[in-house]
Amino acid sequence: MCIIIYKPAGITLFPETMRNSFEHNKDGAGFAYVENGKITVEKGFFTFESFETAFKPHEKKQALLHFRIKTHGDYSEENCHPFHITTNAVFAHNGIIYRMPYDQNKSDTALFNELVLQNLVRVYGKRILFDSVFKGLLEGYTMNSKLVFLDNSGKFTIINEKDGEWNSNCWFSNTSYKRITYKYDGPTDDHGKKKKKDKKQSPLPQLPPPKDYVPSTYQHHLPLSGTNRSEDRPWIIGDYIRPTMPIGMIESGWLGKAMSFYQNGDVEVYFPIRQMSKRIPAIYLERVIPTPLKVED
């Protein structure tokens, strides 16, 4: 499950809220905070006490908190959230990104950061994380996943925000921060009261990606007839793509974005103008290089 908490500056979370979040998602916690134009990440806390001690000095700052339940990858500080996309931008994730390859050590979120987000920011700059069109693409690409992006200026955006909830000006990706009372039919204590017992929540099953899926990597090459030679680099997820000829209901020249690459040479392209995706052979596609813009890191 995991839970993300976004907290604006000046608001202090109840200790009980953080403890409940940790107890229901106790496979590693972390947080990021913004201070003086800098964003800092501290993570790899596997006890609530260590998390609480580290977070206490920053409890009134704008912050992004995450409590993990392991689904993919091992138990490690590296797989705890939030993740740095650049030195000035971080994100946290709740859910499973099924399009990522299975890795015994790295989580699907860590791979999503390395293979998709860092590639996109390297090409288009940090501004893409807060672009409304990109936000719509991510909502479809990650399906039911929820993500929060936060940068060093305090700017933030939430993917699939409607699937979480706002409470006391903070956003929670699910309700596991609330106290949950379980029925307990065991013995009573010396005062005749029932003893409460925590129910341990099992992690979600690890699901492999589709068999014909080949993830985008730094060295993923498509057929030469399907590349734009004016910029010599492999295609990556998020590249602007357009068909060179009509294909079914798809018109020639429609602008879309590459979403996935397949072993047979097909590319899954999302066309915002029709809000639809279609797998198209790469030989019928060309990459569109946008006009360079001056962007910050």
Per-residue pLDDT reduced to its tens digit, 29-79: 999 999 999 999 999 999 999 999 999 999 999 999 999 998 888 899 999
Q: Identify whether the C-beta of residue 66 lies closer than 8 Å to the C-beta of residue 4.
A: yes
Secondary element (H or E) of residue 285 = strand 285-288
Instruction: Let me know if residue 104 belongs to a domain.
Output: yes
Q: Which two tokens stand for residue 24?
A: 């229901």
pLDDT surpassing 80 at residue 210: no
Q: Within 10 A of 196 (CB to CB), how many other CB atoms are there?
A: 9
Instruction: Let me know if residue 109 belongs to a domain.
Output: yes
The rounded distance, in Å, linking the Cα atoms of 81 and 93 is: 8
Instruction: Let me know if residue 296 belongs to a domain.
Output: no
* Half-sphere exposure in the Cβ direction for 31 (13 Å, CA): 27
Identify the pLDDT of residue 211.
47
The rounded distance, in Å, linking the Cα atoms of 259 and 144 is: 16
Q: Identify whether the C-beta of residue 256 lies closer than 8 Å to the C-beta of residue 269.
A: yes
Instruction: Let me know if residue 53 belongs to a domain.
Output: yes
The fraction of the chain above a pLDDT of 70, given in percent, is 78
Instruction: Let me know if residue 283 belongs to a domain.
Output: yes
Q: Within 10 A of 193 (CB to CB), how many other CB atoms are there?
A: 8
The rounded distance, in Å, linking the Cα atoms of 82 and 41 is: 7
Same domain, yes or no, for 145 and 273? Answer: no
Domain span holding position 152? 3-172
Give 11's pLDDT tier (boundaries 50, 70, 90).
very high
Distances (CA, A) of 148 to 5, 66, 264: 9, 10, 34
Identify the pLDDT of residue 231.
53
Instruction: Let me know if residue 17 belongs to a domain.
Output: yes
- Which of 36, 32, 56 minimizes the C-alpha distance to 44? 32
Identify the pLDDT of residue 201.
42
The rounded distance, in Å, linking the Cα atoms of 36 and 174 is: 30
Instruction: Let me know if residue 195 belongs to a domain.
Output: no
Same domain, yes or no, for 34 and 113? Answer: yes
Same domain, yes or no, for 9 and 89? Answer: yes
| Domain count along the chain | 2
- Any idea which of 123-137, 161-175, 182-196, 226-240 has the lowest mean pLDDT? 182-196
Instruction: Let me know if residue 119 belongs to a domain.
Output: yes
Give 235's pLDDT tier (boundaries 50, 70, 90).
confident
Give the pLDDT confidence of 248-268 residue by residue, as tens digits.
Answer: 788 888 988 888 777 677 888
CATH number of the domain residue 241 falls in? 2.30.30.140
- Any idea which of 99-103, 220-224, 232-236 has the lowest mean pLDDT? 220-224
SS (H, E, C) 205-252: CCCCCCCCEECCCCCCCCCHHHCCCCCCCCCCCCCEEEECCCECCECC
At CA 36, angle to CA 293 and CA 47, rounded to 5?
A: 110
